[in-house]
Structure formats: structure tokens, C-alpha cells
Amino acid sequence: MFDFRSDTLTNPTPEMIAAVATAQVGDAARGDDPTVNELEAVAADLTGKEAALFTPSGTMANLAALLVHVRPGDEVIVDAAAHIYNSEVGSMAAVAGAIPRPIPSDAGLIDPSHVAAAVRTGEAGHVAPTGLICLENTHNAAGGAVVPLRTMAAIRDVATDAGLPVHLDGARLFNAAVFLDCPVADFCRYTDTVMVALSKGLGAPMGSVLAGSEEVIARARKKARMLGGGMRQVGLLAAAALVALEDPFPRLRRDHEMAKRLADGLAAIDKSLVRLETVQTNIVNCYVDEYASDAGATVADLRREGVLANFAGPKMRFVTHAHIDEAAVKACLAAVEKVLGAARRAA
């Protein structure tokens, strides 16, 4: 099987496993795990923030940030297609008590003027005030699209004028940095807090980091503990994450190149399948509108051909990662051509 469902499927490298075997550990919940402390210091440095917090998942890190930034009843301005709004089990409302105010985006890009228009001060007695602006980079639902620095800067200006914090769901932020060939910290300067996943394209076994000011992270540490994030000898996992962070750019560039080859191949089969201009990082959205109203059957047929993918409506999603090479891309393209050819003949 060639598995294109997600970059969360990466296995630890031999170097990561070796680091796990020799890691120094302690009680991380008490601040006594030296390897976790090192990971948090490295993450803070990479993001240009004062401090960082190692959490079991990105969802927990995002939720800890929400709990720090907003009060129950506050609104959170968020892209209508954002992961934090659509794919984190409603934790924004159920746990943080926040009210999402979704606004539309164009391929993951939010218009700063729309953000400004959505801000509510709560001066009227019946209005819930805005408490936070959330961004996502790269944008998952938009096929790994990168939000440009100028857009983030403009939204930060809106937030500053309104006295609001900005949180960045940067699960694949390193992919964005590779695309723009800039340090990760260049994105983070426009946010108060940022979450970065370690277990996607970076390839660590698990975990994410939340970075921000020392005061914010101290508060977030308590919120994460409340959510069940007080961990013990997790220096074993932090050691693997440190290896993942050593020099990830070359690996991610390769992932992007595999995605580009896949997208070009899909376009060669049928130009309607892919919007080449949107393939910027390691996600390829493939649209089968002309072949089926629902991509579920197409995905099932691809599975029988040895290729795994995700789908939503008429869209399939392919994600490249460390285990996807040229052979996998060629096999995927051959399977797609076979399956869609059969669908067209049947129609």
C-alpha cells in the first residue's frame, strides 16, 4: 500500500529511535525532564518566542492557547474552513466556552478588511466581544496553501488596533517556511502564540509545541495540565522531536517536490483534476466532479489498487511525506488513471 492519507503516518527514523534509547528523562510535569526542557528551549528559539510548552497533541496546544486568551462568551474570529473550527471536536466552544465567528477565505487567505469588519467590542449590552483572532498556516483545507507574510502582518495590524491577541495554528508551519524560504520565526512575529506540530512532516512520533511569551506559556502550562497534559518521563519523545528539528528543511523540500510531481501527473491525466497554482507544499487536492458526485467510491477503488487517500465530497486529498517517493507517486498516478478511466467508460 502507498499511503497518501496524511503526513501523520511518518515513522520515527533510526536516528530518532537511537535518541530515544539514550534520552535523559525526569518528571516533565514538575519541570524536571532535561530533554523536554531542551526541546522547549529549542522550540522557543526557532519561533522567536520567549518560551514554549511541549504537549501531547496540536489540539491540546490550540485549546490551551484559547483558554489563556479568551473568557467564556468571547468570540473568536476564525476562517470558516480552519482546522481549529472544523476538526477539533468543537473544543473551542465545549471546553473554552468561546463562540467562533467564522469568516470566508479565498484558498486559505483571509482578507484583513473582513477581519476588521468582524471585530466586535461588546459595548452594546447584547453583543459578545471579540477575544481572539486565529490564523492557520499552512492551510489544511486549502491544500497546504501558504498565507503570505504580508497578509499576516496586515491582520496583526488589525489585531493591534483592536487590542486583540493573535494565535497561529501552525501545524505545518515548517512547510510554509520552506515554501517562502524563510525562518519559521518570520511568521511568528505577527502572533502572540503559535502551535507547531512535531508529528506531521517533521516525523516525530507524537506531540506539538505551543510558543509565546513567558507569562502566556506559564498560564498555558496550567491549562494543559488541567486538560490532562501533565506528562512524566516524556524526554523519550522529546529526544525524537529534537532530532526532527535539527534540519527539517531538506526533507520537507523533498516532500514538496513529490507533491508537485503528483499534481503535474494528475493534470496530465485531466486538467480538471487539480489546480496547479494551489499546490505549494505537501498537500494535493484532487477534484473528481466530472467523474463522480462523491469521491468516496473513487477512494475505495484506489484502495483496491494499493493507494490510500482521504476524501470530502468530490475532493480527494493526497499528502506527501517521508515515506512517499517517486515510485509511490508513479503508482498513485497509474491507479488514478485506471480508476477514472473505468469510471468514464461506465458513464
Confidence check: pLDDT of 347 > 70: no
210, 52 Cβ separation under 8 angstroms? yes
Q: pLDDT digits over 25-77, tens only? A: 999 999 999 999 999 999 999 999 999 999 999 999 999 999 999 999 999 99
Confidence check: pLDDT of 143 > 70: yes
What whole-number distance in Å separates Cα of residue 312 and Cα of residue 231? 35
Q: pLDDT digits over 183-195, tens only? A: 999 999 999 999 9
Confidence check: pLDDT of 121 > 90: no
Return the domain boundaries, the chain: 10-244, 249-346
Quickly state the pLDDT bin for 342 (edges 50, 70, 90): confident
Identical fold for domains 10-244 and 249-346, yes or no, is no
CA distance from start to end of the chain: 28
Average pLDDT of every residue of the chain: 96
CATH 3.40.640.10 matches 10-244: yes
CATH 3.90.1150.10 matches 249-346: yes
Grid cell for residue 16: 530518532
Q: Which residue has the higher pLDDT, 290 or 61?
A: 61
Q: What is the CA radius of gyration of the chain?
A: 21
How far, in Å, are 175, 218, 236, 288 from residue 33 at the CA level? 29, 16, 10, 49
In total, the chain counts a number of residues equal to: 347
Lowest mean pLDDT among 123-127, 229-233, 242-246: 123-127
- % residues pLDDT > 90 (the chain): 93
